[in-house]
Amino acid sequence: MKKLNIVLFEPEIAANVGAIMRTCALVNAKLHLIEPFGFIFDKRNFARTSANNFEGCEYIKYDDLSSFFEIVNPKNMYLLTRYGKKPLSDFNFKSIDDEVYLFFGKESTGLPIDLLKSNKSLCFRFPMVDNGRSLNIANCVGIALYEVLRQWDYLDLSKVEVEKGENYLD
């Protein structure tokens, strides 16, 4: 069964995690948070940036990366790194009828180099100007989620406005 999973390795900024929780809640993606965090994990730190979607986000915390891999065996994983050599759009998600795990590293240093080196063929980057270092992690998660969702024809997500009706602009 197709399911999107976001893996955040040692996130450092609560506001980024809150924004990512909001995005995950709205696209039915599961969030995996790998400790240690650079902030106190408390609902109050996420209330504003998650737009109160804290409860709507399915998430699980892990003590460290080893614990994550002991509990989860991610068959289809892809890792964001500025050292990746191809964009996420080069990967074919249409043929995957299973869970997909998108990995994102801590804001200051990214994912562990040994994880990247041992999974080079699964590394991706977002094309940008050649002297640019990185995009904001919350933006990266949103871009990556929607690329996979686009290839999956957005699964069971609504493609029309529901509250005011799909013909609101007519």
Binding residue positions: 80, 105, 134
Cα Rg for the chain, rounded, in angstroms?
16
Give the burial string for 49-62 (b: 16+ CB within 10 Å, else e). bbeebbeebebeeb
DSSP state of 161: -
What distance lies between CA 30 and its chain's CA centroid? 9
Cα–Cα distance, 152 to 44 (Å, whole number): 34
Q: 46 in helix, strand or coil?
A: helix
Which residue positions form the known binding site for S-adenosyl-L-methionine? Answer: 80, 105, 134
Helix axes 14-27, 137-151, angle to 10 degrees: 20
Cα–Cα distance, 154 to 33 (Å, whole number): 24
Cα–Cα distance, 81 to 105 (Å, whole number): 8
